[in-house]
Amino acid sequence: MKIALASDKGGFDLKEYIKSYLEGLNYDVVDLTEEPAADFVDSAVAVSRAVLDGKADRGVMFDEYGTGSAMASNKIHGMVTANVAEENTSHMTTEHNGAKAIAIGAGIVGPKKAESLVNEYLGVNYAGGRHQIRLDMLEKLS
């Protein structure tokens, strides 16, 4: 699985940690910010575009709190991004809502918690079925 990563200055150290962690698990990591992005909007857009354009299967974006990246990403038509700080949300947002990316706040979670969040996110697939109705409803709003 190919995973796109990006961050601004506030999430850069955690992004680097998770990058090494994922590479150690033999994921194909696409690092879109070798240097911190100027703003969380830039890093969120980079991950979103990589996923939507098929350059990555899923994405993880990092900033200080995660909320800004998630909000910016969700403004892009076709994206579903969840701000996560606990494992159940990482799991359920993918299984039930088809999350294409997650946003993690480096000021909220530490490295070990981030590992767990990413594991839950990457370890589950979208269930589709009745859950697709929600996504179809959201697509019609755009």
Percent share of the chain, pLDDT over 90: 75
| 105 φ, ψ (degrees, to nearest 5) | -95, 115
**Rounded-to-10 torsion of CA 23, 38, 109, 24:** 0
* pTM (2 d.p.): 0.90
Q: Which residues contact 113 (CB under 8 A, 6 or more apart)?
A: 85
Q: Per-residue pLDDT tens for 94-127?
A: 777 778 999 999 999 999 999 999 999 999 876 5
Minimal CA–CA distance to 129: which of 81, 97, 91, 104?
Answer: 97
